[in-house]
Structure 1
Amino acid sequence: MVQYLVFLTISTGLYALFALGLNLQWGFTGLINFGHVAFMTIGAYTTVLLSLGGVPIFFAVIVGIVGASLLGLLMGASTLRLREDYLAIVTIGVAEFLRLVAQNEEWLTKGNFGIQSYPLPFGSFQPNFAGKLMMIFILTFLAIFVIWRLFINIKKQLKGGKEIQGKSFQFSKARDVYIKGFITFLLVLITYINGVIALYNYTYKSGLMLLMLIALVGVYYGLDLLVHSPWGRVLKAIREDEEIPRALGKNIFWYKLQAFMLGGAIAGLAGSFYAWQFTTIYPSSFESLITFNAWIIIVVGGAGNNAGTILGSVIFWAYESLTRFISDNYDFITTAQLSSLRMMIIGLVLMVLIVSRPQGILGKKGELSLGK
């Protein structure tokens, strides 16, 4: 059970990291990207191929991130001045093009046979007792930091709600804030306890889990600072009506390009973790379904809300795990039927959610054009 929870933690963090890049592009800037997996493909293959060539893993990851960002530059420079539907078409085409290149250029990617036996972070690392304690200390620091930030956010939400609504600030709304905070605290606590056990009984996946959490926390709070800065406010203005910031003298194309490149760089980092988690990569590992899973995560959690993206990833993987147990414990449904049933249920949930709460679970309806 501990190792399965480690797998869920890595998978949830990986998809959350991937979706954070898409949320920056669409949720905050309004750029429709249906080929987000292209950036993950560049990040994964660049990291793996360079590390196989003897480049240290850290530098291989940096090059993968830069490569994904440059892909965003090329895609954005050719389409962002045009209508939004051109960007959607180009991103899908580029993602499929890269997948086909990985499939057919066997001299480089080994095609459908996939790339195996490449260097992994902590791949041969066997910590002693002091090393395990150091890793547990780092995990403890992360947990304390997340809980501290959670406490600050709860105070801000309560104070902001009272200032806006005055005496009409209802108890039910304060209760919702506390409930969301308690659920988040509970998830952090479960992850921390399981992480401590996993790190004490160290395996490769335990070390990867810690690295994944460090990257996720760093990217999340880095984005949080950016989107609440003047730069982030310009992105939101572009999402709502780009003519207004243009009238104020803002270079709309440059802001869009920056958001697209940064979102692609984050997805490139997610690609490195994707390769490390599965220890083998195939062209079929980068199909468009991964992009649409990220869209599901954002829609469920709330577009334009990074915390909602994390929550959406948690819900997505909780749903995936529960439905897998159905196929393991019952004989009345086959694997193929279960896969179809999963998609049907996800579609139904999305339909109900969009009708009843279009802004998602944590999104703010007043910030979105679809809520007006």
Structure 2
Amino acid sequence: MTAYLIATLTLVAITAITGLALNLQWGMGGLVNFGLFGFYMLGAYICGLLTVQGVPPLASLVGAMCSVALLSALVSLITVRLSEDYLAIVTLGFAECLRLFISYEEWLTRGTLGIAGIERPFQGLVPAQLADTALLAFTLIAVALVYGALQALAFSPFGRLVRATREDPAVVEALGKSVLTVRFKVFAVGGAILGLAGSLHAFYYTYIDPTQFSPIITAYAFMAVVIGGRGSNRGVLISTFTLILVLEGSRFLVDWVPHLGSSELAAIRLILVGAGLVLLLIIKPDGFGKEPRSAEAEIRSFTST
């Protein structure tokens, strides 16, 4: 039971980091990134490939974050001028192209065989029986650092500018600010955080292959942001814990209904998650949390200065 709890908390922490990245890009910046799972996958693969080549795990993690941030920034130059609907389609298409590239370019990514033997941080410094606990502690520290950095960003002048750009980019442009630059930075920072989450995924499983990465990762991140409240980092943390708790807790339905098959259990789990999400949005349509400051206030503050 302890091992299961450690595994669940590790997955909660990784999902929380993914949700925080989306909350920056979509919650604060208004940039709909349906291709989130592709950047997450890229972070995992870059980290995994570097690690099996002998690069230290922490250096591999930093390399993955920088690489995904750079690619996200390049993608933003192509897509950020698009409206929300077209941006969502393009980012989703990019992620699918990336998944196909990783699946079939065996000379670089090992294709569908995947990457095995990924070394974890501090692997030689802790006993084998404490390896999962050490990774959980490392992942929780990463969550705290990302949360602290994004909270500081949310209350900074740049955070105010990001929210104002989301609500009325024309006003921001009229005040002499570059909307393209703002969105470029938001995509890059969000990409770096997704690279971190993907690297932690690779460290957790120590083996990755393309089947582990699908649009369901994006769906979970969007559910976490919607339930938590757009723009609220604290709400994302609460909603992530609630979401994963419901998903994992529903596995024990088989103990209460012994004749329940695996296919029926999977369907009931999805029904419970969907019904819970609808019920929560009825009770709390704005989610668990609220933005540090309303977007209307940001617009007024910029226009008054």
Provide the TM-score with structure 2 as the length reference: 0.91
Residues 77 and 314 (structure 1), Cα distance of their counterparts in 2 relative to 1, 3 Å cut: same
Query: Match for 2:173: what amino acid?
Result: R
Shift of 1:122: 2.7
Which position in structure 2 is the counterpart of 1:3? 3
Aligned mates of 2:101, 2:168 — CA distance in 1 = 38
Q: Could you list the structure 1 runs, at least 4 aligned residues long, displaced by more than 4 angstroms after superposition.
A: none
- Structure 1 range deviating more: 337-346 or 17-26: 337-346
Note the residue ranges of structure 2 that are not aligned, 5 or more in a row.
Answer: 297-305
Q: Residues 1-372 of structure 1 correspond to what in structure 2 (within 5 A)?
A: 1-126=1-126, 202-363=129-290, 367=294
Aligned mates of 2:280, 2:73 — CA distance in 1 = 34
Measured on the aligned residues, the alpha-carbon RMSD in Å equals 1.9
Aligned mates of 1:363, 1:336 — CA distance in 2 = 38
Query: Match for 1:59: what amino acid?
Result: A
Shift of 1:368: 6.8
Aligned mates of 1:261, 1:13 — CA distance in 2 = 21
CA contact 2:246–2:273 (8 Å) conserved in 1: no
Aligned mates of 1:56, 1:233 — CA distance in 2 = 38
CA contact 2:28–2:231 (8 Å) conserved in 1: yes
Aligned mates of 1:26, 1:328 — CA distance in 2 = 39
Shift of 1:261: 1.1
Note the residue ranges of structure 1 that are not aligned, 5 or more in a row.
Answer: 128-200
Residues 250 and 112 (structure 1), Cα distance of their counterparts in 2 relative to 1, 3 Å cut: same
- Structure 1 range deviating more: 347-356 or 84-93: 347-356
Could you give the per-residue CA deviations for residues 155-193 of structure 1, whole angstroms, max 9, x where no partner exists?
xxxxxxxxxxxxxxxxxxxxxxxxxxxxxxxxxxxxxxx
Aligned mates of 2:293, 2:284 — CA distance in 1 = 12
CA contact 2:126–2:134 (8 Å) conserved in 1: no
Provide the TM-score with structure 1 as the length reference: 0.75
User: Identity percentage over the alignment?
Assistant: 37
Shift of 1:364: 5.4
Aligned mates of 2:82, 2:145 — CA distance in 1 = 33
Query: Match for 2:187: what amino acid?
Result: F
Shift of 1:113: 2.2
CA contact 2:230–2:290 (8 Å) conserved in 1: yes
Aligned mates of 2:41, 2:248 — CA distance in 1 = 25
Secondary structure (helix, strand or coil) at the match of 2:47 reads helix
Residues 366 and 307 (structure 1), Cα distance of their counterparts in 2 relative to 1, 3 Å cut: closer
Aligned mates of 2:41, 2:239 — CA distance in 1 = 22
CA contact 1:52–1:118 (8 Å) conserved in 2: yes
Residues 353 and 126 (structure 1), Cα distance of their counterparts in 2 relative to 1, 3 Å cut: closer
Shift of 1:117: 1.2
Could you give the per-residue CA deviations for residues 60-116 of structure 1, whole angstroms, max 9, x where no partner exists?
111111111112112110011122222111110111111111211222222222211
Secondary structure (helix, strand or coil) at the match of 1:125 reads coil
Which position in structure 2 is the counterpart of 1:148? none
Which position in structure 1 is the counterpart of 2:303? none
Shift of 1:208: 0.2
Could you give the per-residue CA deviations for residues 122-179 of structure 1, whole angstroms, max 9, x where no partner exists?
333335xxxxxxxxxxxxxxxxxxxxxxxxxxxxxxxxxxxxxxxxxxxxxxxxxxxx
